[in-house]
Structure 1
């Protein structure tokens, strides 16, 4: 029997804004207390599964086994030295979540050796027992290594609870802090700093908790009244300060509290100024400040500590072609995470003696160097580096063909040691796959990078006219200045081995080509993100990588907005669209200040209560611009507990698409009723959802089953 999609009733509401009448037939779907809403979502889910099962048989179940079969179940991270202990995590057969462990550090014992003195100080599997969802958002060991504070979310709604474990006694303390954000930091062993949420889910306060006291007796250290700012807190690597960071989309302000006197008043580093963002690290009597003040791609300054005398000076000057993304400061070295031509680099700067640069020419200091990487497109990140005195940098590396790898890099000798590489059960030979970076050209003269990975039988090199078009998935995001750095996925092998090319469009709105790349894809210029994605699709088609009948667009959250807007503008370019928790009801969401991110994100999308902001968003908002035309087949996913992109955005969009489209292509909606924005928790549980998505892709791309 063929399943028919459920049809939600139209209950029109309307409002007038700037001469436009906005009619919303499905606004009622936002009322999660209405039993009809949940019933509709469950009917949609049943319909989606019935359609996929009818078209693909037991493919979902086979894909789940295939995806899970590549994951090594008994796994262990590389131990990281922190004081007298080596800390690491591991999983055993059947574990959905890690077990957090430590063992005494013994200089003559290899990091890779399993010691009999292991202490499992926190088992996430035990904490997650009897819960459909579990997220350990943060974990912090106290300065004496006697206590562990951790933050958990049991619903996916991102409202967290802080709990504390006595590691010596192996027992939980009665201290339980509720209504929290996902940041915390120890002052000393008796004082813990954490954030609290307001009614819109915004972390707006930093609180100080005395161990053993009631939460009602905690002290508010800072309350952020501006609804565009989020509060966070962390402990500096030097262990000298607790830092309070207050950030909007475009502005920062930071305060410091000495850990030696955690009840002291916070000291202001630099007052906020609109458009000035900064972050800091501490060493000795100086702060290393990464700031965009007069430096679009950021520069690094040395500044005196608050309340101390001393002049600021530029340590690393601004460069037009290099984005400074982050810094790590150790006792003897500065490590700079930077980006050039879309690719990440790690720059190492010795600090003894402190480099003295002449003017703004940014000439390298003696001993300064870059850590090189081999692949044409890749991703690097800082791994666990807790100790300030360390002379070894631990970093992670992956590419589209190379599994996640952990390296120790000697900052003095420049020797690099591979400590661990993700094992793909059943084997993985990177030489069987190819990756490339190509460039698409836009109508306004920009070059947009595209990262590609595929498994060639005998594939011509890029640019070879003899290339045969292949099924292709084009992924994009393009918002908040975030980058979609190419990384390895063992799950993706299920598509690559079936003949798929996976492509990533690094569109404007992301940070791949520096801060100007981000600024050129937001507010009034948001259309550039969509134009870039379309240009990438056209380039892949023109260069015979694929055809419209073989091309799928995919994106999640703000990437869902991207593919939703592109679906309205150029539906003929794609055979299908996969949208994961898509931000498609942009206008109505940004008009509602009670929602968690609406006010803070007006610096990203615009303020629709103003004529210009309304015009920007109304021109592209996917839900507002659904029209009577043919659309690709679509699979849309949502999360019932999602505080970032409400489930109703997907539900309303699907209903309007079905009502207005002129074709007979399937549009499916699948809502996870036990999860939020990030989808299912657990190491294997999310694979059920991924198997659904892959079954949809394999079906619509007519791949081998």
Structure 2
């Protein structure tokens, strides 16, 4: 259909006397008309040649046949492979006492995916005896999972499954008992059930009645204890179950307290907890096993816990991993938002159960090739061997999997992400500290080809999120190179609402302080313009989900400074969503965004809600994406925003674009369709630039 006819239909639809709420019904004729119109408009505006070029680049830039780093779990070594033309991997294993040439494929995900348009594995775990595989599968993208069991000896699927579960489960030590979490009618994991594999009966062992708390399951590294965590956005409660006695009563290790969050593990005869109950920057504590009250719900008191590492004023303890003789601690600077990993000795407890201060004989910071980097701890191999698995990556260094000798601090590179036709020395990075409107210093990380960053006046995209305390630590992206090789600058804005500079950074960007996130992104926009790194016509914003709200609210403030906006599954109808507690996740989200039943929160949301504040002025070029099965940001929120954008837009040359897929919040599950989706997004950014210069990579 010609573009002029599409525009004519859009005008006609806008003048129909149809309630906007009708768009919440996917079967309503108006909804179908708008979705069809959006698809036709997107297809007619799509520069297919450029998209195909980018898709070819994405496929050619990395080895399509690959194998993961082998890791030990009990008596087996596990790894995965993916073939050159495959969308999904195969999983392999061989005995730890054997050799790699004995490896056998125990799961072919290609066969599972052949039966479905979409396939996501929520969790996959072999039983402790290595004889069974439990796997949870979502075949729609709506995050409703089905748990199935594969007999690894016979390679036959058991005629036994659990439908409509959350995807979360854990094996008990007997290799026959599974704990799973079930969903309520608002998709909240609200109950834990104990199942015997193959048996129809199930027993509910925990029910969460507080509606903004949800449940998750885990296991300590020692494998001696199963964990049931009840969490809200700001609080954690932890219950224990002996792994070898899954029929035992639950034992409360840490009761919920307002604004207190913890993470827990177990080593030797002690439980170790990272907690913010003394200070928001967190501290590390130990509890002897004998202090537990195994026969009841009475939890240990705070005086039972020994402080191992006290809180610090300028550093947040971000995470830890405990080994028999070593402690790994992730630290985050409140000044810069940068992270580092420390390794210390872990001393033996004395006869009274007291643990001496760690780090007396060993205390070092793991060295990295780049300061603007991420260094993540992978799950420890079982049994432990004096080594830690880490993943290093930076804005200009592809990911590497390391095996770190905890005693020496030396590391061996087990695997390096291969990127064809790429030279990291051609890229340059820069850390900028941007002053926000209230004087807060916002980290802005830049990466570009060296000559582009030096000269400026280039296309530039700012990526942001700023919610839930999630951190945008530096990461490498091979897809990003398609922008950088065309002369772009890529920027990451670590706005308030994330925890990059500690918990206070998060607190300053949530609930009544949410506008700080928008202040920070606007400050970053003005900074790159004042520094002449780019121009308004060349400036793009990019955000997804809560980051889509960040982009939407900010472009409403200063549309004249922005040329293009890319919004993936954006949370742009936030006021309407937060006023409807029947929607999935709404009540859990009150601690993040605030409850609009509070008049002050209502007034604040009315001021920044993207859909209700589109300005009557020339708007940027925009592409928004959504998924028909998305349970987190329902398609109709984005569709209503799209319709509103058509209504408000005053520039006939800048109609909004909407791409709607059948899947859920995370997009396509098949690898090559994922490449195609990425190519679509990059195509939109590049195509809508007034000029883009391709820089040779040879």
Bin for the TM-score computed over the shorter chain? over 0.9
CA distance in 2: counterparts of 1:355 and 1:640, whole angstroms: 59
Deviation per residue, 1:347-373 (Å, 9 max, x gap): 2221133599xxxxx995331222122
The structure richer in helix per residue is 2
Q: Aligned match of 2:161 in 160, 165, 176?
A: 176
Q: Aligned match of 2:622 in 620, 625, 634?
A: 634
TM-score, normalization by structure 2: 0.93
Contact 1:640 1:671 in 2 (8 A): no
Contact 2:283 2:310 in 1 (8 A): yes
2:121 pairs with 1:136? yes
Quickly say closer, same or farther: Cα 1:640–1:663, change in 2 above 3 A.
same
CA distance in 1: counterparts of 2:359 and 2:443, whole angstroms: 28
Q: Aligned match of 1:472 in 453, 460, 476?
A: 460
Contact 2:453 2:489 in 1 (8 A): no
Aligned pairs for 1:92-131 within 5 A: 92-106=83-97, 115-131=100-116
CA distance in 2: counterparts of 1:275 and 1:67, whole angstroms: 44
Quickly say closer, same or farther: Cα 1:524–1:117, change in 2 above 3 A.
same
Q: Aligned match of 2:283 in 280, 294, 299?
A: 299
CA distance in 1: counterparts of 2:31 and 2:425, whole angstroms: 50
Quickly say closer, same or farther: Cα 1:281–1:12, change in 2 above 3 A.
farther
Deviation per residue, 1:69-111 (Å, 9 max, x gap): 223121001100122211111101211111111112248x6xx
CA distance in 2: counterparts of 1:688 and 1:613, whole angstroms: 40
2:517 pairs with 1:524? no
Deviation at 1:645, TM superposition (A): 0.5
Quickly say closer, same or farther: Cα 1:12–1:593, change in 2 above 3 A.
farther
CA distance in 2: counterparts of 1:366 and 1:495, whole angstroms: 47
Contact 2:452 2:488 in 1 (8 A): no
Secondary structure in structure 2 of the residue aligned to 1:658: helix
Aligned pairs for 1:500-511 within 5 A: 500-511=488-499
CA distance in 1: counterparts of 2:143 and 2:323, whole angstroms: 33
CA RMSD of aligned residues (A): 2.1
Quickly say closer, same or farther: Cα 1:12–1:390, change in 2 above 3 A.
farther
Query: Where does residue 549 of structure 2 map in the other structure?
Result: 561
Contact 1:698 1:704 in 2 (8 A): no
Query: Where does residue 327 of structure 1 map in the other structure?
Result: 320
Q: Aligned match of 2:447 in 453, 462, 467?
A: 453
Deviation at 1:394, TM superposition (A): 0.3
Query: Where does residue 703 of structure 1 map in the other structure?
Result: 692
Contact 1:207 1:221 in 2 (8 A): yes
Query: Where does residue 354 of structure 2 map in the other structure?
Result: none
Deviation at 1:38, TM superposition (A): 3.3
Deviation at 1:282, TM superposition (A): 0.7
Deviation at 1:219, TM superposition (A): 0.8
Quickly say closer, same or farther: Cα 1:268–1:457, change in 2 above 3 A.
same
Q: Aligned match of 2:81 in 71, 75, 90?
A: 90
TM-score, normalization by structure 1: 0.92
Quickly say closer, same or farther: Cα 1:126–1:249, change in 2 above 3 A.
same
Secondary structure in structure 2 of the residue aligned to 1:116: helix
Secondary structure in structure 2 of the residue aligned to 1:603: helix
Aligned pairs for 1:260-339 within 5 A: 260-305=244-289, 306-307=292-293, 311-339=304-332
Deviation per residue, 1:130-172 (Å, 9 max, x gap): 3111101111111111111111100000011111111111111
Gaps of 5+ in 1: 14-24, 110-114, 357-361, 461-466
CA distance in 2: counterparts of 1:387 and 1:66, whole angstroms: 39
Contact 2:619 2:651 in 1 (8 A): yes
Aligned pairs for 1:667-682 within 5 A: 667-682=655-670
Query: Where does residue 151 of structure 1 map in the other structure?
Result: 136
Q: Aligned match of 2:25 in 8, 31, 34?
A: 31
Deviation at 1:311, TM superposition (A): 2.9
